[in-house]
């Protein structure tokens, strides 16, 4: 009993060594820096907005995290186009009808699953590297979204719009959805056989295959799951925004990768970190909000944000090489 009690202070003191710790610290610093301009006013609104918009980044980031965990060269560049296609087709299917909210969700998830299967088949059957396969597929998905949209902006059902813009006990509903998905992802990684399989795959694919890990099953589930989460995000984002736009997923290409890196996941594969994804997602929103608050132009914001991401990637690469 005494030993367990003695270990607690040491666990608390070593929390800074956790890979997600600095992402959350950076988020807190950006939050405080933004509040300083308003002398502390509007903190609740800023936190609510951060949780809401970070939820989109966190959901697609979790999917991207699984893909990147497979090892070097594994990344899904079709996420933005999958989001756009899923949001467009689901809203078009629902056409504002409240009774079609759940079938509309099924359409969005179906689009994601279809995109994931297509991505995997390009990688497996045609032997195309994942980066090239998903990039090529993204042009197909985006073209389908343009063809199906035809310049229309269909509004989501009122009940769905109210849900995505509403809150429960003061917590944005979208944040609750994102946190639920994060919890499920954490349990999958830390408490399931599949979690051990994907880590083994990322550390050494050949060794994993020889040890009995069904590597092709793991690869297929990972790419399909990432695309399904992109489809869900497209559905939620289109409903939150009041309609699907053809560029709605564009910014999430950078963000989905950035939150994985900023969150402390290994860019070399083999290690996932769900808490860090949320820390990275909050940081990405808050850093942009902070730069906006200081009146910096769009060009400067992009340069600063890019420089921060490059610095984190460089630091992470240096740490992994030591």
* Alpha-helix residue ranges (DSSP H) falling in 95-129: 101-124
Q: pLDDT band for position 270 (50/70/90)?
A: confident
Max CA separation in the chain (angstroms)? 69
pTM, entire model: 0.90
Region of poorest pLDDT, from 129-133, 277-281, 293-297: 293-297
Total domains in the fold of the chain: 1
Residue 12 forms part of a structural domain: no
pLDDT given at position 14: 60
pLDDT given at position 313: 61
Provide the residue range defining the domain that includes 254: 20-29+44-321
The answer to whether the beta carbons of residues 229 and 59 sit under 8 Å apart is yes
What is the average per-residue pLDDT within 16-23? Answer: 72
Residue 69 forms part of a structural domain: yes
pLDDT given at position 236: 97
In this predicted structure, the answer to whether residue 248 has a pLDDT above a threshold of 60 is: yes
| Nearest one of 217, 313, 249 to 77, comparing CA atoms | 249
The CATH number given to whatever domain includes residue 178 is 1.10.3470
Instruction: Kindly report, residue by residue over 44-94, the tens digit of the pLDDT.
Output: 888 899 999 999 999 999 999 999 999 888 999 999 999 999 999 999 999
In this predicted structure, the answer to whether residue 297 has a pLDDT above a threshold of 90 is: no
pLDDT given at position 235: 97
Calculate the CA dihedral of residues 18, 24, 30, 31 and round it to 10 degrees.
-150
Instruction: Kindly report, residue by residue over 82-112, the tens digit of the pLDDT.
Output: 999 999 999 999 999 999 999 999 999 999 9
Q: Using the structure block, give the residue that is written with the tokens 């399931």.
A: 192
Residue 11 forms part of a structural domain: no
Residue 14 forms part of a structural domain: no
Q: Using the structure block, give the residue that is written with the tokens 């990637």.
A: 313
Residue 38 forms part of a structural domain: no
Q: From CA 238, how far away is CA 319, in angstroms rounded? A: 39
| Nearest one of 106, 137, 108 to 120, comparing CA atoms | 137
Residue 7 forms part of a structural domain: no
Residue 227 forms part of a structural domain: yes
Tokens of 305: 């944000």
Residue 4 forms part of a structural domain: no
Instruction: Kindly report, residue by residue over 118-163, the tens digit of the pLDDT.
Output: 999 999 999 999 999 999 999 999 999 999 877 667 899 999 999 9
Instruction: Kindly report, residue by residue over 156-213, the tens digit of the pLDDT.
Output: 999 999 999 999 999 999 999 999 999 999 999 999 999 999 999 999 999 999 999 9
In this predicted structure, the answer to whether residue 25 has a pLDDT above a threshold of 80 is: yes
């Amino acid at each position: 009993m005494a030993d367990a009690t003695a270990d607690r202070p040491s666990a608390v003191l070593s929390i800074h060594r956790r890979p997600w710790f600095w992402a959350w610290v950076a988020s807190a610093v950006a939050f405080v820096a933004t509040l300083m301009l308003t002398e502390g006013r509007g903190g609740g609104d800023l936190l609510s907005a951060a949780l809401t918009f970070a939820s989109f980044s966190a959901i697609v980031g979790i999917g991207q995290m699984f893909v990147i965990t497979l090892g070097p060269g594994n990344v899904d560049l079709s996420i933005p186009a999958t989001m756009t296609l899923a949001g467009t087709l689901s809203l078009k299917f629902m056409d504002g009808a409240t009774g079609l909210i759940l079938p509309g969700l099924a359409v969005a998830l179906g689009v994601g699953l279809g995109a994931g299967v297509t991505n995997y088949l390009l990688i497996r059957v045609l032997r195309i590297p994942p980066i090239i396969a998903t990039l090529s597929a993204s042009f197909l998905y985006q073209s389908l979204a343009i063809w199906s949209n035809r310049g229309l902006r269909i509004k989501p059902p009122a009940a769905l719009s109210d849900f995505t813009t509403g809150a429960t006990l003061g917590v944005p509903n979208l944040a609750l959805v994102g946190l639920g998905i994060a919890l499920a992802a954490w349990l999958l990684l830390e408490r399931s056989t599949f979690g051990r399989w994907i880590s083994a795959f990322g550390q050494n694919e050949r060794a994993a295959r020889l040890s009995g890990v069904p590597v092709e099953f793991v690869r297929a589930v990972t790419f399909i799951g990432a695309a399904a989460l992109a489809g869900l995000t497209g559905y939620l984002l289109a409903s939150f925004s009041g309609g699907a736009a053809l560029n709605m997923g564009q910014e999430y290409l950078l963000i989905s990768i950035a939150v994985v890196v900023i969150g402390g996941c290994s860019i070399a594969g083999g290690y996932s970190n769900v808490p860090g994804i949320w820390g990275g997602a909050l940081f990405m929103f808050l850093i942009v909000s902070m730069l906006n608050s200081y009146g910096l132009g769009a060009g400067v914001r992009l340069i600063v944000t890019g420089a921060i991401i490059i610095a984190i990637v460089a630091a992470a690469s240096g740490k992994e090489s030591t």
